[in-house]
A and B are shown apart, each in its own frame.
Chain A
Amino acid sequence: MLAELESKQAFILHTRAFKENQLIIEFLVEGEGRLSIIASKGGKKNSARTALLQPFRPLIIKYKVGRGLHSLKSVELNPESADIRLKSKSLFCGFYLNEVLCRLCKSDAQYDELFPLYDYAISHLQHSSEREIDTQSGMYLEAILRQFEYRLLVMLGYGISFDYDLHSEADIKADKYYELLAGSGFVFSNTPQRAIIGSDLMGIDSFLNTDLEIEKLSAHKLKLAKLILRACLHRHLGDKPLKSRELFRK
């Protein structure tokens, strides 16, 4: 007799058609990580199921573990979580998160901390969608993305330190200049034109590590964090650019 399947919280990252009536769905599953699960299409007769099999919706799934692909046995909306409906720029940010995650995290690898990290980012994107905070300056959305990128890199073991000079191991000084070694950290620099002043680096990691407080964000530091994290991500993503960046019209 088959053991009873466990119910797990999950988000859909991506779906693609497989054969005529099936889908291969990339799920982000609580306590597991990214899993490829095969499911039958909802089709016209089961629109409720089709509506559930969409990215960003908080789901409870049951699946049977297979050798390669797993198979989906049941799916329902998570009754304990508010439904997520991303709009406009928040939706584009959601696509960005999913693309970064699918590019950086391997399927079937164990990432315990990935689900809460994604859940945190998505619920803040929803918060932004509801209140249309992004229409003001876009800073709130930028902050959510930067926190997600930084925490994801740390979780994967690619984190960098903003506190000390990588070569001398001395603390970062406010009046000295530093250069970024992508994927490693910062080193003292003699060429201020191409470097970042220490006072700008201070406080970036505490912002990236603590929960969002929009009124405390500095636009300049946020922009700097974007450049630093983009360089770090580029090192791990390779030369193929992220397609979701094209969604943000200038």
Chain B
Amino acid sequence: MSQSLLENLIEQLQCLPGVGPKTAQRMAFHLLQRKRQAGKELSVVLNEAMDNIGQCSECRNYTELELCGICQNAKRAIDGTLCIVESASDLAAVEQSAQFSGRYFVLHGCLSPIDGVGPSEIGLFQLEQMLENGHVSEVILALNPSVEGEATSHYIADICKSHNISITRIAHGIPVGGELEMVDSSTITHALMGRKQF
């Protein structure tokens, strides 16, 4: 027997992260009972977004334009800093801190050979070309402190060294509001190694 439209809707909603069958069913009923108009608008926007949002040709952030808003802003290129992040959500987190006024490069992943992710899959050849052609004076690594993040950092550091570009990495340490006794030994090691004059 063919699947009903409702069953299909519930199944498709499960493609979202954190949404299982029960939540998907709740979402579907909610849209049908109370938010039909909002549901229609959502479907239109979703359709447009999936068709039109691509990656910025410079930084690989998501945008429907050739260049994203940050890359179009000439002021952000003045100091020549380039912050490398793993995902678009990491970029949003750094932007929210309002502490960085340079440009970004989004990898959309980290080096993980067993998963089939090598330098070309995360745009490192594009990054190398950018460093060759662009006016980058400092690369800031803002990658997650995992083994894959570490490998990616070393690979990028090699590229920077071969082009004589200064490279720095954001500090690893104790989060604000965290408790020292609950922090793992690697983070404490990093925090001690990266201590600063007070």
Contacts and interface: CB of A to CB of B under 8 A. Distances in A.
Interface of A: 13-14, 16, 20, 47-48, 50-52, 54-56, 77, 83, 86-89, 91-92, 95-96, 98-99, 102, 242-244, 246-247, 249
Interface in B160-196: 182-187
B115 A91 contact: no
A52 B184 contact: yes
A95 B110 CA distance: 13
Given A20-B18, A52-B184, A246 B151 contact: no
B154 A87 contact: yes
Given A47-B187, A244-B114, 17 more contacts: A16-B115, A20-B18, A47-B183, A48-B184, A48-B185, A50-B184, A51-B186, A51-B187, A54-B146, A56-B147, A92-B151, A96-B113, A98-B114, A243-B116, A247-B111, A247-B113, A249-B159
Interface stretch (B38-46, B79-87, B117-125): B117-125
B113 A243 contact: yes
23 contacts: A13-B114, A14-B114, A47-B182, A47-B184, A47-B187, A48-B184, A48-B185, A51-B187, A55-B147, A86-B147, A87-B150, A88-B157, A91-B154, A92-B154, A95-B114, A102-B114, A243-B113, A244-B114, A246-B119, A247-B111, A247-B118, A247-B151, A249-B158
Given A47-B183, A246-B118, A247-B119, A95 B113 contact: yes
A168 B53 CA distance: 67
A88 B40 CA distance: 51
A247 B18 CA distance: 34
Contacts of A52: 184
Interface of B: 17-18, 111, 113-120, 146-147, 150-151, 154-155, 157-159, 182-187
Contact of B147 (A91, A96, A246, A247): A91
A91 B151 contact: yes
Nearest to A47: B184
A247 B151 CA distance: 9
Nearest to B182: A48
Contacts of A99: 113-114
B185 A77 contact: yes
Contacts of A98: 114
